[in-house]
Structure 1
């Protein structure tokens, strides 16, 4: 086994090691998964207007977020991917002054593969982001498109949307402008939108299928094609062409369900066929033994009970072989199992 060198092997004391990291001019930090700041260096403290890192140790990092919901989305996203690079997130300084940071972070695992820490560093990009007045706006031509056209800033806030987007989401353009686009996604896809945004900023373009919820509560599966628009060589905003593919997704999911259920039916038929032969043999042998016994023999009632149970197993095997529809029943702890009686009865009902 290879021995990993310790700090002392390099002639560096623990204090010297800490001073080294504290002197790095990049805002470095470590938090627990729950959000408690375990370590941060001087640059991190100064970024948020604190005099020393000690003021932040053991405090909740969520208090530095401008929008506390961003913390939850950030954690969900990094747990999905394991690493995020240069993700723009809005924070606030000690005195409440807004600050925009590009966050790069990764998960830290223990020996059992469990997440114990989130390590990262931040860059202040407040002065590097375009002012809202410089953002591109959609012209009247975009309102003639059947597809949805969205322009968002580098943090994922909606700048503009065409008429097709208004009609799909059920909100007016004025109501949506300036709102975080993540708020329109269904809860289970919000963290994937953060990953989508991070990857778009990293590689310049991206595409995926994510679902949104319209004003009436209806779910729409949308095919997103995003392009990073640059101005004078620097990222400026993101333009998305979005197409509603709900019908395609629904058909594909139904097709997958049908395929899986067909496999279950074939397996059920195979199980029933495999059970019937040994059950028939056992049933016949028990019948012979019962004929040879007298009712007053002590073994007779026991053999009779076994014979009855074998008959019940035969009935169950026949029902399994007759399953043609999915009928579920509640089991324990919220788990559902196949209701063999109803599922086999459904087939008999179809024959009537």
Structure 2
């Protein structure tokens, strides 16, 4: 008898001092057990709640509560059921509930007992993670640059629609292949591999190499390389953001050719041509300009200042005045 009493006291201490909220109700839904953890989580004191209908059930969860109670009265167990419960201050919290039958000393089921863990922070974190994943998913699928994801062995594990459009491979064709498949040649593959090793684990970097499409055509690609990391910040792979810069390269080449063409014209022109700042610093001039004015070099003129080539300094001031007003002048005579 004494042993049985000691056992009951022991169990009561466990229930009362458990860090997990433990609540028991009878068959009618009235509270018959409410431990300290329940007081802390939900706000009601034990003295306020014993013998009363369970107040933590939101109106839209009444049917759910009744179904859980019915299962416990039948001796069925419910494990890790996620739902919402209400606190005394009116706030709703997310909880994980495990429910079982509550029995008397003779083993008769007299109600249900529930263990509840507050998982509000976890639910909030999961929601934030899902929202973040959705944002990045939208970015991944909508961005117009090719995105390629590879593991540390440079095996392709994912790509976006823009990649399939630019390179001509379907995702089924390319996933699982070595990234060597998309380079112009092995030399280009090894070149970027060297850059990966040099920057390994550091900040993202840009690199330009030649890539090859499925149809064999080659294009220059500016590649932004980012490192994939696990929760311990270990590198687990790479993300390549590839932009076709063929148009830019063509424009730069055309500009260089144009500059070369006009530089040749500038150098060979028999008229004196020069470029200067408004305040008179000579930036450039052609050989004819030096010859006409009797100077040996651009540096020689700058030693004397551009103003010195005018017989009357007022002439230059008038020239600048006309230039500012009309933006351009021609056949303007000075001595």
Same fold (TM over 0.5): no
Scaled to the shorter chain, the TM-score interval is: 0.3 to 0.5
Computing the radius of gyration from Cα coordinates, the structure with the larger value is: 2
TM-score with structure 2 setting the length: 0.36
TM-score with structure 1 setting the length: 0.35
